[in-house]
């Protein structure tokens, strides 16, 4: 009886070990596949950016992208529906990168400088995206970034003042500054008005410094 019990125990342990090994193998393969897929997407993104330097998005073909990064059309369609789908993924990745880097900065002036630098360095890409997506499409792309930035601005001012607004009003402030920043930045890179980089930076900082602390101070009185 003891021998049979011992034998059954060993059998179950071996079975469990095999199942765990199979699970680890499966998870490893999934991770490798995900990593390979991401690298392929990044390669396609790099090719799209390169081609966009010389051609409008509407003239770029899937074949051109595939030839440039050394993949076949089947691989492209496995990841994306069309060139516009690739552009949207590229913009989403750019947005994530901007948020990650902005989160490492110490104050809202540094964050604003970072955003302006990004727009200035990538103006050609953003103009091409604007032409493909329209103003509303660009607003949707920029809104996720700039709402996060607006939240950083509000939090920094609240912490400096030691005063905090209620969540509903905070959401309103986020929307207000997000929409203002989005509209200004789109007009700046697309229409290129008379404002240069330094002027728009100075104006943004002055406007936020003069308005946001006063609004938070005033609203905080309602919480007393």
Task: Tell me the pLDDT band of 44, cut-offs 50, 70 and 90.
Answer: very high
Q: Which of 11-20, 108-117, 162-171 has the lowest mean pLDDT?
A: 11-20
| Range(s) of the chain covered by CATH 1.10.357.10 | 82-224
pLDDT, one tens digit per residue, over 126-156 is 888 888 888 888 888 788 778 888 888 898 8
Check if the beta carbon of residue 181 is closer than 8 Å to that of residue 102.
Answer: no
Q: Please give the pLDDT value at position 5.
A: 47
* Contacts with 117 (C-beta within 8 Å, 6 or more apart), sequence order: none
In this model, does residue 112 exceed pLDDT 70?
A: yes
- Among 3.40.50.620, 1.10.10.60, 3.40.50.150, 1.20.1440.230, what is the CATH number of 1-80? 1.10.10.60
Q: Which CATH code fits 82-224?
A: 1.10.357.10
Percent of the chain with pLDDT over 90: 30
In this model, does residue 16 exceed pLDDT 70?
A: no
In this model, does residue 223 exceed pLDDT 80?
A: no
Q: What is the mean pLDDT of the chain?
A: 81
- Give the alpha-carbon dihedral of 113, 183, 145, 218, to 10 degrees: 80
Q: Shortest CA distance to 77 belongs to which of 63, 56, 57?
A: 63
Q: Please give the pLDDT value at position 79.
A: 92
Q: Please give the pLDDT value at position 120.
A: 84
| Range(s) of the chain covered by CATH 1.10.10.60 | 1-80
pLDDT, one tens digit per residue, over 88-97 is 888 878 776 7
Distances (CA, A) of 200 to 114, 166, 167, 207: 13, 30, 30, 10
Burial class of residue 134 in the structure, from the number of CB atoms within 10 Å of its CB (0-12 exposed, 13-18 middle, 19+ buried) = exposed
């Amino acid at each position: 009886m003891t021998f049979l019990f011992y034998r059954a125990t060993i059998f179950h342990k071996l079975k469990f070990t095999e199942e765990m090994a199979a699970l680890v193998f499966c998870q490893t393969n999934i991770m490798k596949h995900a990593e390979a897929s991401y690298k392929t997407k990044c390669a396609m993104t790099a090719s799209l950016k390169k081609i966009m330097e010389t051609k409008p998005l509407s003239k770029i073909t899937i074949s051109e992208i595939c030839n440039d990064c050394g993949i076949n059309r089947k691989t492209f369609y496995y990841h994306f529906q069309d060139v516009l789908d690739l552009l949207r993924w590229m913009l989403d990745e750019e947005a994530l990168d901007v948020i990650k880097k902005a989160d490492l900065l110490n104050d809202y002036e540094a964050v604003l400088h970072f955003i302006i630098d990004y727009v200035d360095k990538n103006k050609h890409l953003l103009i091409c995206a604007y032409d493909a997506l329209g103003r509303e499409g660009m607003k949707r792309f920029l809104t996720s970034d700039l709402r996060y930035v607006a939240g950083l601005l509000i939090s920094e001012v609240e912490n400096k003042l030691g005063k905090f607004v209620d969540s509903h009003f905070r959401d309103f402030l986020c929307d207000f500054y997000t929409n203002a920043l989005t509209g200004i930045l789109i007009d700046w890179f697309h229409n290129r008005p008379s404002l240069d980089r330094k002027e728009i930076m100075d104006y943004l900082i002055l406007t936020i410094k003069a308005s946001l602390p006063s609004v938070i101070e005033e609203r905080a009185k309602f919480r007393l």
